[in-house]
Amino acid sequence: AQSVTQLDSHVSVSEGTPVLLRCNYSSSYSPSLFWYVQHPNKGLQLLLKYTSAATLVKGINGFEAEFKKSETSFHLTKPSAHMSDAAEYFCVVTFRSGAGSYQLTFGKGTKLSVIP
């Protein structure tokens, strides 16, 4: 079974300061991992994905994440927060079911606030 734990339900940063959103996963096999962002009353947008290639993954809008197998972590970072980054972020692990579907298992989300 696989699971995802997002360690912070809320993170607040000042504009222009670094962002760190933490995610730990549990998986019985080599996982694929994703970060999605959800703006209020909007759908989910794919930020980046790790699929067993390079461990440092660059995504859109200046975000990146590093896969660390020894720590079972996939933390999301950005060097400098922008007001438009305020949203909810979901760490996701994919699971190939016996029926052949790629089910996504979501963390509970981290709400990022950016203070002017």
- Binding residues (CB under 8 A) for another protein: these are 32, 34, 36, 41-46, 49, 51, 90, 94, 96-97, 99-109
Q: Which is nearer to another protein, 17 or 43 (CB)?
A: 43
Using alpha carbons, select from 9, 106, 23, 1 the residue that is nearest to residue 72. Answer: 23
Show the beta-strand stretches assigned E in the chain.
3-6, 10-14, 19-21, 23-26, 33-38, 44-50, 56-58, 64-68, 73-78, 87-96, 102-106, 110-115
Pick between residue 22 and residue 49 the one whose CB is nearest to another protein.
Answer: 49
CB of 16 to another protein, least distance (A): 29
Minimum separation from the CB atom of position 13 to another protein (A): 21
* Shortest distance, position 116 Cβ to another protein, whole Å: 26
Minimum distance from residue 40 beta carbon to another protein (Å): 12
| 3-state DSSP assignment of residue 2 | coil
Q: Which is nearer to another protein, 43 or 116 (CB)?
A: 43
**Angstrom distance (rounded) from CA 49 to CA 92:** 9
- Closer residue to another protein (CB): 26 or 80: 26
Rounded distance between C-alpha atoms, residue 86 and residue 35, angstroms: 15
